[in-house]
Amino acid sequence: MYNKRTVIPGLVILVFFVTFPFWYNGLSAGPVPTPELPPGGEKQCVAPASEMRAKHMKILNEWRDDVLRNGERVSITVDGKEYRKGLQLACMQCHSNKEKFCDSCHEYADVKPYCWNCHLTPAQLASKKETL
Ligand code: HEC
Ligand code: HEC
Ligand code: HEC
The span from the CA of 96 to the CA of 94, in Å, is: 5
Half-sphere exposure of 44 (CA within 13 A, CB side): 11
* pLDDT (mean) for 88-104: 96
The residue contributing the CA closest to ligand 1 atom 26 is: 86
Q: How far is CA 6 from CA 2, 3, 16, 111, in A?
A: 8, 6, 15, 20
The span from the CA of 21 to the CA of 19, in Å, is: 6
Give residue-wise pLDDT tens across range 31-46: 788 899 999 999 999 9
129 vs 78, residue with greater confidence: 78
The span from the CA of 58 to the CA of 9, in Å, is: 21
Residue 131: predicted pLDDT: 77
Query: Ligand 2 atom closest to Cα of 101?
Result: 24
Give residue-wise pLDDT tens across range 2-33: 777 888 778 777 777 767 766 665 555 467 88
CA 87 to centroid of chain Cα atoms = 9
Q: Is 76 left (phi over 0), alpha (psi -120 to 50) or beta?
A: beta
The residue contributing the CA closest to ligand 2 atom 38 is: 91
Residue 26: predicted pLDDT: 53
Of 32, 46, 61, 103, the one to substitute when testing ligand 2's pocket (max ligand atoms within 8 A of C-beta) is 46
Give residue-wise pLDDT tens across range 45-94: 999 999 999 999 999 999 999 999 988 888 999 999 999 999 999 999 99
Pocket-forming residues, ligand 2, beta carbon under 6 Å? 35, 37-38, 42-46, 49, 52-53, 56, 59-60, 78, 83, 90-91, 93-95
Residue 25: predicted pLDDT: 57
Residue 22: predicted pLDDT: 60
